[in-house]
Amino acid sequence: MAAEPTSAERRLLFVTGRLAEPALRRMLAELAPIAGFTPEVAVLPITVAALMTADWVARHLQVPPGTEKVILPGFCRGDTAEVAAAGGVPVERGPKDLRDLPEHFHLAPGESPGTKYGKHDIEILAEINHAPRLSRDEILIAASRFAADGADVIDLGCDPGGTWPGVADAVKALRDAGHRVSIDSMNVAEIAAAAKAGAELALSVNATNRATAADWGIEVVAVPDQITPGDSSRTKYELDDTLNVLSKSGVPFRIDPILEPIGFGFAASLGRFLEVRRRYPDAAMLMGVGNLTELTDVDSAGVNVLLAGFCEELGVRSVLTTEMINWCRTCVRELAAARRLVYHAVRERVLPKKLEPDLVMLRDPKVPEMGEEALRELAERITDRNYRLFAERGELHVINGSMHLCGNNPFKLFAEVLKRDETIDASHAFYLGYELAKAATALTLGKAYNQDQELRWGLANHETHKKQGERRET
Q: Residue 96 has what pLDDT?
A: 81
Q: Residue 469 has what pLDDT?
A: 42
C-alpha 259: how far from chain center: 24
Q: Are 369 and 393 within 8 A, CB to CB?
A: yes
Within a domain: residue 471?
no
Q: How many domains does the chain have?
A: 3
- Is 163 in the same domain as 256? yes
> Band of the pLDDT at 472, cuts 50, 70, 90?
very low
Within a domain: residue 20?
yes
| CATH code of the domain in which 91 resides | 3.40.50
Domain that holds residue 28: 7-104
> Band of the pLDDT at 23, cuts 50, 70, 90?
confident
Q: Is the pLDDT of residue 177 over 70?
A: yes
- Is 141 in the same domain as 193? yes
- State the average pLDDT over residues 286-315: 97
- Is 420 in the same domain as 355? no
Q: What is the pLDDT of residues 405-460, one digit of tens each?
A: 999 999 999 999 999 998 899 998 999 999 999 999 999 999 999 888 889 898 88
Within a domain: residue 253?
yes
> Band of the pLDDT at 283, cuts 50, 70, 90?
very high
- Is 185 in the same domain as 328? yes
- Is 304 in the same domain as 192? yes
Task: Give percent of the chain above pLDDT 70.
Answer: 91
Q: Residue 323 has what pLDDT?
A: 96
Within a domain: residue 44?
yes
Last residue of a domain, one of 45, 77, 104: 104
Within a domain: residue 23?
yes
Q: Residue 51 has what pLDDT?
A: 84
Cα-Cα-Cα-Cα dihedral sign, residues 365, 371, 376, 378:
negative
- Is 353 in the same domain as 382? no
- Is 394 in the same domain as 328? no
Q: Residue 471 has what pLDDT?
A: 33
- State the average pLDDT over residues 98-127: 75
Which region holds residue 207: left if phi is over 0, alpha if psi is between -120 and 50, else beta?
alpha
Within a domain: residue 51?
yes
Q: Is the pLDDT of residue 229 over 80?
A: no
- Is 97 in the same domain as 162? no
Query: Of the ranges 55-69, 91-105, 259-273, which one carries the lowest mean pLDDT score?
Result: 91-105
Q: Is the pLDDT of residue 118 over 90?
A: no
Last residue of a domain, one of 71, 104, 137: 104
- Is 319 in the same domain as 427? no
Last residue of a domain, one of 75, 104, 133: 104
Q: What is the pLDDT of residues 36-72, one digit of tens each?
A: 899 999 999 988 888 889 999 999 999 999 999 999 9
Considering the chain, what is the average pLDDT of its residues?
88
Query: Of the ranges 15-24, 264-273, 397-406, 463-472, which one carries the lowest mean pLDDT score?
Result: 463-472
Q: Are 314 and 306 within 8 A, CB to CB?
A: no
- Is 355 in the same domain as 382? no
Q: Is the pLDDT of residue 231 over 60?
A: no
The CA distance from 321 to 337, in Å, is: 14
- State the average pLDDT over residues 95-114: 68
- Is 79 in the same domain as 165? no
Q: Is the pLDDT of residue 332 over 60?
A: yes
Q: Residue 263 has what pLDDT?
A: 95
Q: Residue 65 has what pLDDT?
A: 92
| CATH code of the domain in which 238 resides | 3.20.20.20
The phi, psi pair for 70, rounded to 5°, reads -110, 135
Q: Is the pLDDT of residue 465 over 50?
A: no
Within a domain: residue 473?
no
The CA distance from 315 to 277, in Å, is: 8
Q: Specify which residues 215 forms β-bridges with.
A: none
Within a domain: residue 467?
no
Q: Residue 395 has what pLDDT?
A: 94
Residue 141, Cβ neighbours under 10 Å: how many?
13
- Is 75 in the same domain as 188? no
> Band of the pLDDT at 115, cuts 50, 70, 90?
low
Residue 372, Cβ neighbours under 10 Å: how many?
12
pTM (2 d.p.): 0.75
Q: Is the pLDDT of residue 145 over 60?
A: yes
